[in-house]
Structure 1
Amino acid sequence: MGKETDPSCCVQDFKPDRIFTVFFNYSGPLVVDILPQDTTVNAPYYVRNVLSQVKSAINEQRPEVSTSRTLPLHDNAGHHKARVTTQSLRELGIQVLPHPTYSPDLTQCDFWLFPILKDRLAGRKFDRIQDLVKAVNLELRTILEEDYEGAFRKWQIRLKRCIESHGEYFEGL
């Protein structure tokens, strides 16, 4: 897999009413979207607000490469699998890596990114969402590029282990 072409999508609930969606690649964060208060993550929101940012970020980062060379990793969230999302991805020429149904252990955010953010933000109180957003963005940007690369290497090891175990649950990574 090419270093610059494999973003990973992550969704994390940092506050009960705020959900962050993070796309990152080997070099670091591409998009951080904060769900507006009293809004639900659904396919239309995801397509309109998140995927459009991802397309723009990819085009800005690599104008010479089309999004058709982008191969994102989605988990099996409803808004990722919805018809409007898959149709939008198809129109953008983006093929999504398939994700086994019951494999949260393959989601880089679950086994790598969110534990880092939770550890770094533990015990801190944020009175304003803007302060939380700044803190999350700062922490994402202070993670070293080699650590983002390492997350993709760890993901490939986990994927291989999942294939070898025929999709069965395994421990030890």
Structure 2
Amino acid sequence: MRWNSEERAFAVEAYFSSGCSVVATQRAFRNRFNLAPLAPVPDRKSIVTWVTTFRQTASATKRRTGVPRPVRSRENIEAVRGSMLRSPRRSARKHASALGLSDRSVRRILRDDLHFHAYKMAIVQELTERDFNSRMNASMKPIFIYVGRLTNKTCATGLTPTLDNCIKGLCIHPKSKVWCAISSAGIIGPWFFEENEVTVTVNSDRYVNMLQNFFFPRLEELDLGDTWFQQDGATAHTSRASMAVLREHFPERLISIRGDLEWPARSPDLSPCDFFLWGFLKSLVYVNRPRTLQDLKTNIEEEIANITPAMLTRVMTNARYRFTQCMENEGRHLTDLIFKTM
């Protein structure tokens, strides 16, 4: 409980008047401030602390000496700027240690005063002239469409609804194949490709089963209207059976190999699934170091459930900005992103 200056001063005075008796001080304190029998009074530790402080400073309240130096002073701001320019790859924490400032103060200076933003290096494939044209064409469509990429850790597949929606499958763990859908209206998933609690390979039959028995029913619940479906070129996704089911459910709205619309390859910078969802989940699901596959699955479910509509709205707003910038840059990499090509 917090005690004000008047109460502290009275407790110190009563302590000396009672012959340094804590019990007598508490009794006098209760009578002075008309407290109920069971109302709290200062404990022994508080009274002794106030008395010690009074003996040292002639005040029952601790006071700071000297004039406090503002942390976000002009000198500190310039020091942080210079340190960052000299070593841009060094972490904010190491800069703070070198400058004798707290990590929080340095981060506030970077964000609020210098308007610097953290970046993470991404290794991507180099774009070609053909990619420039396809990226431009995709960015100028009346709807925004997003696609993921296929690596040993991501299975790109999914929904590209109207302006604010996209879907992507994620293989977050070598022994866990996870698929989920992300849109500004909500998230569908996750879906774990398993049989008898054992992770299985995603083939055409299992992919079609997931679409028909899991994805399509939940898509209807969201009531998004006309929706574009986007998927990568994995064999399970582009088999005759899979394509037949998708064409029936998304007539003239299928983004795929041999689909109604081609999506530019080598363009993770234009896909919310790549520039947000995958990295966001990966940064969280391993924080508590899951020891079992079930622990990992639980983490994935909880973190997906914690993604708020406001967060998804910001992601889709950022996607619109990226498309606009892609058109202004004639299909090349975005100017405010740092890429290392290979």
* TM-score, normalisation: structure 1: 0.78
After superposition, the C-alpha distances for 1:128-156 in whole angstroms (9 at most, x for unaligned) are 33332222121112122011112222222
Match of 1:56 among 205, 217, 222: 217
Q: Give the Cα separation in 2 of the matches to 1:78 and 1:103.
A: 21
Q: Following superposition of structure 1 onto structure 2, how do residues 75-154 of structure 1 map, counting pairs within 5 Å?
A: 75-94=232-251, 95-97=253-255, 98-154=262-318
Which 10-residue stretch deviates more, 124-133 or 26-35?
Answer: 124-133
Which 10-residue stretch deviates more, 53-62 or 82-91?
Answer: 82-91
Which 10-residue stretch deviates more, 4-13 or 151-160?
Answer: 4-13
After superposition, the C-alpha distances for 1:31-62 in whole angstroms (9 at most, x for unaligned) are 21112245222333222214542210022233
Q: List alignment gaps of at least 5 residues for structure 2.
A: 1-142, 145-160, 256-261, 338-342
Change (3 A) 1:82 1:166: farther
Q: Give the Cα separation in 2 of the matches to 1:102 and 1:76.
A: 13
Aligned pair count reads 168
Q: Give the Cα separation in 1 of the matches to 2:318 and 2:241.
A: 31
| Residue aligned with 2:229, SS | coil
Q: List alignment gaps of at least 5 residues for structure 1.
A: none
Q: Give the Cα separation in 2 of the matches to 1:162 and 1:12.
A: 26
After superposition, the C-alpha distances for 1:6-35 in whole angstroms (9 at most, x for unaligned) are 542222222211121111211321121112
Q: Give the Cα separation in 1 of the matches to 2:299 and 2:203.
A: 25
- Alignment RMSD (CA, Å): 2.8
Higher helix share: 1
After superposition, the C-alpha distances for 1:88-124 in whole angstroms (9 at most, x for unaligned) are 1111135134421221222222100122112222332
Which 10-residue stretch deviates more, 105-114 or 40-49?
Answer: 40-49
| Residue aligned with 2:254, SS | coil
Task: Kindly name which structure, 1 or 2, has the bigger radius of gyration based on alpha carbons.
Answer: 2
Match of 1:24 in 2: 182
More relative contact order, 1 or 2 (CA 8 Å, 6+ apart): 1
How big is the shift at 1:166?
A: 4.5
Change (3 A) 1:85 1:103: farther
